[in-house]
């Protein structure tokens, strides 16, 4: 979370590229094509990522309204990520029980790597059916006029999924905000722009 409530911790990016003229219509269509789809026990992957409304990230039925996404020059969304995550102690206990049942059923003392992998997959499917995925939602606020975007989360996993999803959705590149990238975005006079390449950091303290 973060944009609407909670601690204000964010990663800042500069959006590289121009937005279309009919931004509301085009972007709403693109957002809807990458709406979050809940993770199901039978899914092959163990992670689901997609867009959700910023004010209702955990609703069972996900729908977007233009006035809930666009606020003046701002586009506000939330990225939701669901993952299957089980404590290692629980997985070990379930595997031990499954191995005992396998030995009783087959009369064998040891199983091959293939058999063990198949049993682990069976245990994983059972855990998925019995449990619920871990859910996390992270807000983002993008000022389309200035090109500044704030993602209210700094987890490496979240940021990686966000960068991929954003670029696929909007066909724009994100550049982590830094003094150099911010200065470039200001469209400085040519002589100052050329001098940026030779700027070096200045120490503001002694020692």
Which residues are within 8 A (CB) of 151 and not within 5 positions of it... i.e. 6 or more apart? 10, 11, 12, 13, 79, 138, 139, 140, 158, 159, 162
Last residue of a domain, one of 80, 111, 130: 130
* Domains contained in the chain, number: 2
Whether 205 maps to a domain, the answer reads no
Whether 102 maps to a domain, the answer reads yes
Residues 99-157 have pLDDT tens digits of 888 888 888 888 888 888 888 888 788 888 888 888 999 999 999 999 999 999 988 99
CA–CA distance from 75 to each of 62, 65, 131, 141 (Å)? 17, 12, 34, 6
Whether 202 maps to a domain, the answer reads no
Residue 87 pLDDT exceeds 60: yes
Whether 58 maps to a domain, the answer reads yes
Q: Are 57 and 158 in a shared domain? A: yes
Q: What is the pTM of this model?
A: 0.72
Whether 70 maps to a domain, the answer reads no
Return d(Cα 52, Cα 58) in angstroms, integer: 8
Name the residue range of residue 51's domain: 11-62+138-196
Q: Are 20 and 52 in a shared domain? A: yes
Q: Are 18 and 40 in a shared domain? A: yes
Residues 31-40 have pLDDT tens digits of 999 999 988 8
DSSP type of residue 45:
S
Residue 203 pLDDT exceeds 90: no
Helix (H, G, I), strand (E, B) or coil at 28: helix
Whether 33 maps to a domain, the answer reads yes
Which has more confidence, 168 or 90? Answer: 168
Q: Are 186 and 142 in a shared domain? A: yes
Q: Are 15 and 41 in a shared domain? A: yes
Residues 1-44 have pLDDT tens digits of 555 665 567 899 999 999 998 999 999 999 999 999 988 888 88
Q: Are 123 and 99 in a shared domain? A: yes
pLDDT at 143: 96
């Amino acid at each position: 979370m973060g944009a609407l409530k909670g601690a204000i911790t964010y990663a800042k990016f500069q959006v590289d590229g121009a937005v279309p003229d009919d931004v509301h219509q085009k972007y709403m269509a693109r957002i809807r094509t990458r709406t979050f789809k809940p993770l199901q026990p039978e899914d092959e992957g163990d992670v689901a990522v997609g867009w959700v409304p910023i004010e209702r990230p955990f609703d069972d039925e996900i729908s977007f309204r233009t006035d809930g996404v666009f606020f003046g020059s701002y586009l506000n969304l939330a990225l939701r990520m669901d993952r299957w995550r089980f404590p290692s102690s629980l997985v070990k206990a379930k595997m031990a029980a499954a191995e005992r049942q396998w030995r009783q059923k087959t009369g064998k003392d040891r199983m091959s790597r293939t058999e063990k992998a198949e049993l682990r997959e069976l245990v994983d499917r059972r855990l998925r059916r019995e449990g619920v995925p871990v859910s996390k939602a992270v807000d983002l606020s993008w000022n389309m006029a200035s090109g500044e975007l704030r993602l209210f989360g700094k987890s490496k996993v979240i940021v990686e999924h966000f960068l991929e999803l954003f670029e696929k959705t909007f066909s724009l590149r994100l550049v982590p905000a830094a003094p150099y990238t911010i200065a470039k975005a200001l469209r400085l006079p040519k002589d100052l722009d050329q001098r940026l390449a030779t700027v070096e950091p200045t120490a503001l303290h002694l020692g």
